[in-house]
């Protein structure tokens, strides 16, 4: 694949390109894809001028590592990423995107599938590729090539020829909620992202809004939506549930002090009767959130109820006895009436507005006026300087579900204009990646 020549812009041959809408741009100017800069631009650092200031900022932040709180850690991490991007040349960035990162995903996914990270991370001692290969049943030359790339990317540590030891990352890959996202995304989702450009061109670059006619259906030749597709192709459904558990780890929790006032808004004034429903988690997956709530607020009155589709409820291995398991389809009538709070975590972002409205209608029918709240735990993307986790997830929603991560204006349009509810307040964590939208009946 290597090409050692050093072309200039005159050497680059570009085809005539006709956009999908049949026009050559608004002013008829884009008849050919002619480079707007010389090739030398791709061989110089992306932003050399900013490097001295970024280095100063990192040095200043690095002096506080002994008392590094979460906000300072995130700021230092963002500066470190900025430094890498500034120092890389566009050519290096391109190779990282097109070769290094896809190849790393391949290597890590095979590592998960074969159980490599359990054997490698059993202790911190260096291990030979031949010994690892024998333990997991993989051809040694194949494993050696995969591990060499993992090491070059910093995911494991090379200690000698064909010898490696684990890092904290690779040891964490023995935890299913961390590792299972790799085979799930690689096998069950990635084609929808990789072929979105084809789908978008086919649809004349219009925003997709149909859950049964999106990039996922195009890429996998299916009529199923994402969740049906994953459940129909095991083990992707189970792996996806684990992946969602990993996604939630370490993120700001609305149940903690300083985020959402649980005591003032939920516990105080709640019905204390033995049959009263306190918190209903709709689409709550394996019960991660309700179990966290149970641990952090053990004295909250009433019932804790987990609702999800029967196949998901059936995958629960262990869950505290206080949490009731209830198979439920959120398109159907809500069986729990008059709960103190109905809660959804990362549910509505999966669906376009018209589907969300149908889901919200079922909740509204069950809410008790002046008593019940609807708590929506989602990203609220700011109008500017959005955080990369939220923007990445937005593209996942676009390609996998023809949906979106929503801005505050989007949420107000959905919840107030379309669903006819009232947003009482939006509570947002410090780094802006997690919010609670509290809604009431009008």
Give me the active site residues, please.
349, 378, 405
Residue 248 near residue 259 (C-beta atoms within 8 A): no
Pairing state between β 127-128 and 163-166? antiparallel
Q: Which residues contact 246 (CB under 8 A, 6 or more apart)?
A: 175, 177, 178, 180, 181
Rounded-to-integer distance, Cα 344 and Cα 374, Å: 8
Residue 279 near residue 300 (C-beta atoms within 8 A): yes
Residue 407 near residue 382 (C-beta atoms within 8 A): yes
DSSP state letter for 207: P
Rounded-to-integer distance, Cα 400 and Cα 189, Å: 7
Nearest to 156 by CA among 170, 140, 145, 173: 170
Q: Which residues pair with 280 in a beta bridge?
A: 305, 342
The DSSP-derived string for 227-241 is: HHHHHTSTTHHHHHH
Q: Which residues contact 409 (CB under 8 A, 6 or more apart)?
A: none
Q: Which regions of 135-201 does DSSP assign to beta strands (E)?
A: 156-160, 163-166
Q: Report residue 3: phi and psi, to 5°.
A: -135, 110
Nearest to 75 by CA among 65, 87, 86, 88: 65
Give the gyration radius of the chain's Cα atoms.
25
Burial (Cβ within 10 Å: 0-12, 13-18, ≥19) of residue 333: exposed
What does the buried/exposed string (b/e) look like for 270-280 if buried means 16 or more CB atoms within 10 Å of the residue's CB? bbeeeeebbbb
Rounded-to-integer distance, Cα 153 and Cα 315, Å: 35
Helical segments of 255-376, H only: 262, 288-296, 310-313, 353-366
* Sign of the torsion angle spanned by Cα atoms 124, 130, 135, 137: positive
Rounded-to-integer distance, Cα 31 and Cα 426, Å: 47
């Amino acid at each position: 694949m290597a090409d050692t020549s050093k072309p200039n812009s005159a050497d680059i041959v570009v085809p005539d390109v006709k956009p999908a809408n049949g026009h050559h741009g608004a002013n008829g100017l884009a008849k050919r894809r002619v480079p707007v800069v010389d090739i030398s631009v791709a061989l110089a650092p992306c932003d050399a001028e900013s490097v001295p200031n970024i280095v100063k900022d990192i040095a200043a932040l690095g002096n506080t590592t002994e008392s590094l709180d979460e906000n300072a850690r995130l700021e230092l991490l963002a500066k470190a990423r900025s430094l890498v991007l500034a120092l890389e040349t566009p050519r290096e960035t391109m190779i990282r995107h097109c070769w290094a990162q896809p190849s790393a995903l391949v290597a890590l996914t095979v590592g998960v599938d074969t159980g490599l990270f359990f054997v490698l991370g059993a202790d911190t001692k260096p291990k030979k590729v031949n010994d690892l290969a024998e333990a997991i049943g993989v051809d040694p030359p194949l494993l050696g090539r995969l591990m060499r790339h993992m090491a070059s990317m910093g995911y494991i540590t090379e200690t000698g020829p064909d010898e490696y030891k684990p890092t904290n990352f690779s040891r964490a890959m023995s935890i299913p909620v961390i590792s299972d996202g790799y085979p799930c995304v690689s096998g069950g989702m990635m084609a929808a992202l990789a072929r979105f450009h084809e789908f978008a061109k086919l649809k004349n670059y219009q925003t997709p809004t149909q859950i049964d006619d999106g990039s996922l259906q195009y890429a996998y030749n299916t009529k199923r939506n994402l969740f049906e597709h994953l459940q129909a192709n095991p083990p992707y459904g189970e792996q996806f549930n684990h992946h969602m558990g990993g996604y939630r780890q370490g993120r700001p929790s609305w149940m903690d002090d300083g985020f959402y006032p649980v005591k003032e808004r939920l516990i105080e004034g709640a019905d204390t009767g033995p049959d009263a429903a306190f918190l209903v988690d709709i689409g709550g997956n394996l019960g991660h959130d309700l179990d966290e709530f149970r641990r952090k607020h053990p004295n909250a009155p009433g019932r804790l109820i987990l609702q999800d589709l029967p196949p998901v409820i059936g995958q629960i291995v262990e869950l505290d006895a206080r949490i009731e398991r209830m198979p439920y389809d959120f398109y159907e009538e809500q069986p729990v009436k008059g709960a103190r709070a109905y809660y959804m975590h990362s549910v509505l972002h999966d669906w376009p507005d018209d589907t969300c409205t149908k889901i919200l209608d079922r909740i509204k029918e069950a809410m008790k006026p002046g008593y019940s709240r609807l708590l929506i735990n989602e990203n609220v993307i700011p109008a500017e300087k959005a955080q990369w986790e939220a923007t990445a997830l937005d593209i996942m929603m676009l390609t996998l579900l023809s949906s979106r991560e929503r801005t505050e204006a989007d949420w107000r349009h959905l919840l107030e204009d379309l669903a006819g509810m009232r947003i009482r307040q939006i509570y947002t964590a410090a780094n802006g990646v997690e919010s609670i939208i509290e809604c009431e009946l009008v």
